Structure 1
Amino acid sequence: MIEVVGVPASGVSSLPDDLRRLVLDAAVVVGSPRLLATLPPASGPVQRRLEWPRPLLSGLDDLLAELRTGPLPVVVLATGDPLDSGIGKTLIGRLDADTVRIHPAVGSVALARARMGWSAGECDALSLVSAPAYAVRSRLTPGRRILLLSADETTPGAVARELVDAGWAEATLTVLGDLGSVAESRTALTPAEAQTASGLPRLNIIALELPAHGPTVGTSPGRPDAAYENDGQLSKSEVRACAIAALRPAPGQLLWDLGAGAGSIAIEWALHDPRCRAIAVERDEERADRIVRNAATAGVTGVRVVRATIADAVNVAGGSADALPVPDAVFIGGGADAKVIERAWSALRPGGRIVVHTVTLETEQLVVEARRRHGGELRRISIEHAEPLGRYLSWKPARPVVEWAAVRPYEESSPP
């Protein structure tokens, strides 16, 4: 059993008696240099005190292997709540959950809410400890309150640059430093001030307040076409909304977006929930680079770009070390042929969804045949927009899209 003890900012001395004794009696204590420095001098048997490896993830497995064969008990020190963007989640992911016991302290999010007077229901939390600052863009809506867990003292400036670039220069950032310690601080900044601010504490959380008026793109399917940099290879807003509705995104699930173009389907899938992931397959290098930019502009971190042809990508799926992971849903918006459709279908998990869009008669024949083999639904999506015709308005139809959507039955065999 590894005991993970959440420690207040004031250090180990502020722990309750039973947890402090657990730490002091441990054979091995692992933690950051800051937390280890709050330990009193060891008394009695020699206690090993180990700092985390740097970089953490690449050296963590070796450290855990050493701890498994060493003396017990082992205590890990963490700041606040170890499961609140802390080491607790990482350890549970590496080990059997039954071998990790969490002892949380009041986390920085709870402390920040208390200092700001914000209830849990009126604010959101987003960790930027390991995520890029642009991830905040996915949360930018008028009047919103967000608590941002910072990686270090440079995070407020990085967030401020994203805010200004996204049109939120009137937002307010309150940098709460060293919460719960005697050095606790509070600094209110505009985005312009935060970009050049110095002397901010390394351990901080940002309370971000957005004004009641500002640009609203939102996270629902069918975002404005103008939200995406594109070269014309873009599923239009209304058609995109239909595709996402048929794909049925769910937290933690994975989408293959085959022939991704501007990446709009993958991005809107990922915007459904921070735990949604997508793989955008695009062979054109310029378009692949554009997907990366579009994902950053949307504040999405869950989209991975694979630079390959659709055929190459689906043919290696499940068959090699660099294969695409098994998807929960597949979208094919271009480049479909009979083999690609069949390979995508066989790659799906039972209960997985496939959606194919086509605008040509030849590909329409393919999806009609796919429906005959696998079932599902066919629908034709026709959109008309009012556009000027002389001094008046007239309806101008867009090219209709045929959509095949199907769910792989659970009674079918699992994908290879």
Structure 2
Amino acid sequence: MHRITVVGIGADGWDGLAMSSRKIVREAEVVMGGKRLLDTLPWAWWQERVEWPASLEDALATLLAEHEDKKVAVMASGDPLVAGIGGLLVDAVGAESVEILPGLSSETLARARMRWSYEQTSLVSLEDHEVRRLVQHLAPGRRLIVLSGDGGTPSSVASLLRERGYGGSTMTVLGDLGAITESRTEARADAWADRVSPELNVICLECVADPDRRSATSRVPGLPDDAHATGALARDLRTAALARLGPAAGDLLVDVGSGAGCVAVEWVRAEPLARAVTLVRGAGEVREARAVGTELGVPALELQEATDEDAVIAALVALDAPDAVFVGPRYLSAAVLDAARGSLKPGSRLVAQAVTPADQAMLTGQFLELGGELVRLQADVAQEAAWQVAEPTVQWSLLL
């Protein structure tokens, strides 16, 4: 049985710990944590100190198994459940085996320094150095507290803001929060000089968009066609599909053949706590989907190659039961729809779109047999002298 207590410690180190937290650390047989935090603790000859390895997620299960019957204290920065080790430990050994003694998080300290209320701010973690993850959170007037990966993150964020039309945003970099070396640097992103900030820093952003970029910042589905790769579903078809798929926090979508994962990308943009797996035709489309996802702030898009119908069906069978499946025209068949329905759990959503008359007739048959909603979509676009008439697309959606 694991006995793990996670102790949150601030930049003021051991001196800032409550007496109850100090007692936990002193009585532990094993103390784990990063080198910086372990170095703040007084020496204790009776304890084993275990420094986190470079790849913690891969090694965590082994480390915990080696000390399963011992009293373990884990040192964490601030609040262990805010982009910290706390969540990893709970997932690894279960909530009943982990006690959390939080300190003040860097988010809380940053809001206090900025006088920003919780309701006025959103938290974004860039501790994995995926700076483009910030893109999906940008919106005019929004206040963001960004947890940096290192001292170079602020300069990378400033560069991204300039590139994305947010050069007028105010950046306040708070270094070493809570320590006697605490610092504060403030400037607009378009005036941010390349510099190395303190290794431990938090970026507070007040987002200001260039006037010509405001329309491109919404997370509502329906990005312009040129935001996606060639061959992606048209804007109005994506919007119609996502309206029926209904992105929600924690939900998993399987995107089958929307074209370089365009539906999956907009699913995650609409709800950052949702997940998406995209089935694509080959390595070229994998590269396209990853590039588009990164550009639009979804760098962690899950991609799988499925070159034919059999591979798609096998992938649907192997995946954890999703909450929604989208089947695009390129992969559409009765067999794929059967596999998609079989993979879904009760309360899930299935949406399919057809372009050819044969596929449209097949979807009509599915509708007559199983119910749901069948609509015909046709988005004609006005040109200078006439309408550009689009081919109709039939969309079938089913709530299981």
Normalising by the smaller structure, the TM-score range is over 0.9
The alpha-carbon distance between structure 1 residues 5 and 261, as it changes in their structure 2 partners (threshold 3 A), is: same
Q: Which of residues 201, 207, 223 in structure 2 aligns to 1:204? A: 201
The alpha-carbon distance between structure 1 residues 138 and 318, as it changes in their structure 2 partners (threshold 3 A), is: closer
Q: Which amino acid aligns with 1:277?
A: R
Identity %: 39
Residue aligning to 2:271: 273
Residue aligning to 1:85: 83
Residue aligning to 2:43: 41
Q: Which of residues 378, 383, 388 in structure 2 aligns to 1:382? A: 378
Pairing 1:7-406 to 2, within 5 Å after superposition: 7-42=9-44, 46-69=46-69, 71=70, 73-130=71-128, 132-192=130-190, 194=192, 196-198=194-196, 200-211=197-208, 213-214=210-211, 215-216=213-214, 217=216, 218-228=218-228, 230-231=229-230, 233-317=231-315, 323-334=318-329, 335-389=331-385, 394-406=386-398
The alpha-carbon distance between structure 1 residues 54 and 234, as it changes in their structure 2 partners (threshold 3 A), is: closer
* Contact persistence 1:158–1:195 (CA under 8 A): no
Q: Which amino acid aligns with 1:84?
A: V
- C-alpha deviation, 1:374, in angstroms: 2.3
Q: Tell me, what secondary structure is at the counterpart of 2:67?
A: helix
Flag structure 2 segments of 5+ consecutive residues without an equivalent: none
* Contact persistence 2:232–2:262 (CA under 8 A): yes
- C-alpha deviation, 1:309, in angstroms: 2.2
Q: Tell me, what secondary structure is at the counterpart of 2:384?
A: strand
- How far apart, in 1, do the equivalents of 2:306 and 2:357 lie? 26
The alpha-carbon distance between structure 1 residues 172 and 313, as it changes in their structure 2 partners (threshold 3 A), is: farther
- How far apart, in 1, do the equivalents of 2:206 and 2:13 lie? 30
| C-alpha RMSD of the superposition | 1.8
Q: Tell me, what secondary structure is at the counterpart of 1:109?
A: helix
Q: Which amino acid aligns with 2:157?
A: V
- How far apart, in 1, do the equivalents of 2:92 and 2:191 lie? 41
Q: Which amino acid aligns with 1:381?
A: L
Residue aligning to 1:411: none
* Contact persistence 1:261–1:288 (CA under 8 A): no
Q: Which amino acid aligns with 1:39?
A: L
Q: Which amino acid aligns with 1:67?
A: H
Q: Which amino acid aligns with 2:64?
A: L
- How far apart, in 2, do the equivalents of 1:165 and 1:174 lie? 19
Q: What is the TM-score of this pair, normalised by structure 1?
A: 0.90
Q: Which amino acid aligns with 1:173?
A: M
Q: Which amino acid aligns with 1:350?
A: P
- C-alpha deviation, 1:343, in angstroms: 1.1
Flag structure 1 segments of 5+ consecutive residues without an equivalent: 409-416
- C-alpha deviation, 1:160, in angstroms: 2.0
* Contact persistence 1:12–1:35 (CA under 8 A): no
Counting matched residue pairs gives 394
- How far apart, in 1, do the equivalents of 2:259 and 2:232 lie? 6
Report Cα offsets for 1:323-347 as digits up to 9, x if no partner. 3332211111122111111111111
Report Cα offsets for 1:182-230 as digits up to 9, x if no partner. 11111124435546213x11111111122254413211011222322x3
- How far apart, in 2, do the equivalents of 1:311 and 1:78 lie? 48
- C-alpha deviation, 1:163, in angstroms: 1.5
Residue aligning to 2:4: 2
- How far apart, in 2, do the equivalents of 1:367 and 1:195 lie? 57
Report Cα offsets for 1:151-191 as digits up to 9, x if no partner. 11121122222222212222222111110011111112443
Q: Tell me, what secondary structure is at the counterpart of 1:4?
A: strand
Report Cα offsets for 1:20-65 as digits up to 9, x if no partner. 11111221111111111111222xx611121112211111111000
Report Cα offsets for 1:127-171 as digits up to 9, x if no partner. 111251001110111122111101111211222222222122222
- How far apart, in 2, do the equivalents of 1:60 and 1:195 lie? 39
* Contact persistence 2:168–2:189 (CA under 8 A): yes
- How far apart, in 2, do the equivalents of 1:344 and 1:126 lie? 34
- Shifted more, 271-280 versus 88-97: the winner is 271-280
- How far apart, in 2, do the equivalents of 1:68 and 1:131 lie? 32
Q: Which amino acid aligns with 1:402?
A: V
Q: Tell me, what secondary structure is at the counterpart of 1:138?
A: helix
Q: Tell me, what secondary structure is at the counterpart of 1:288?
A: helix
